[in-house]
Each structure stands twice: as structure tokens, then as C-alpha cells.
Amino acid sequence: MTMTVEITTNRVGTTAIVTPHGDIDLVTSPEFRTAVHAAIDDGADAMVIDLSDSEFLDSTALGVLVSVHRRLGERVVVAGTRPAVQRLFEITRFSTVLRLYASVDEALAALKN
């Protein structure tokens, strides 16, 4: 289990880009949850979750993604999934709920349309 995770949040207009730097698991998911909900509370009306620096997500991380999806609906997308995370999204069928993009730039472009 990961003991800590650094999470950065940037804004492009009213879209938050949340990037966890490390794995999201039982220990680190509360920090991830706090970061994504703080971004929404601070006025973000759309969100890109950039997972390019995360090798592993567990069910608690998926729970955070569900909670963000409940708040933002189609306005939350995921970018940069690594192979293991991509596979998790396919197995759990999260790829049918959240739109996945190869890069943050692609995700931002999709949110503009």
C-alpha cells in the first residue's frame, strides 16, 4: 500500500485538472476524495482526472470516481490511464461510465464540445 500521494489541481477556465502523483488505494483515497470535491466546491463545473502518474487504483479510488461522476455527470473525464489502470476500467466496466482519453489535451478538447 502507498503511504502518501501528492495531488495537484490546476484550472483551465472552469475545468479542474486533478492529478494524483502515486497510487490511489485505501490509505490515499481520502486525500484524493478531498482534492476532487474541493475542486468542485471551488467552482469547477468540469473535471479531468489525469491518471498518467498512477500505476494502481483500488476499489476505494473507483468509489471516489463514482462520487465525482454523481456530481458532474458527463463533465468528468479521465486521461492518461496506464495499462493496469486501463485494464481495471475495462474489467469493472468503468470505461462505459467515464470517458477515457489518452491525454489531458484530448480530454480538455472533448469537454469543450
Domains of the chain by residue range: 7-112
Average pLDDT over every residue of 10-22: 97
pLDDT per residue as tens digits for the range 19-28: 999 999 999 9
Residue 1 has pLDDT above 70, yes or no: no
Residue 72's nearest CA partner among 27, 23, 18 is 18
Q: Read off the pLDDT band of 4 (50, 70, 90).
A: confident
pTM reported for the whole predicted model: 0.94
Is 7-112 CATH 3.30.750.24?
yes
**pLDDT of res. 113:** 81
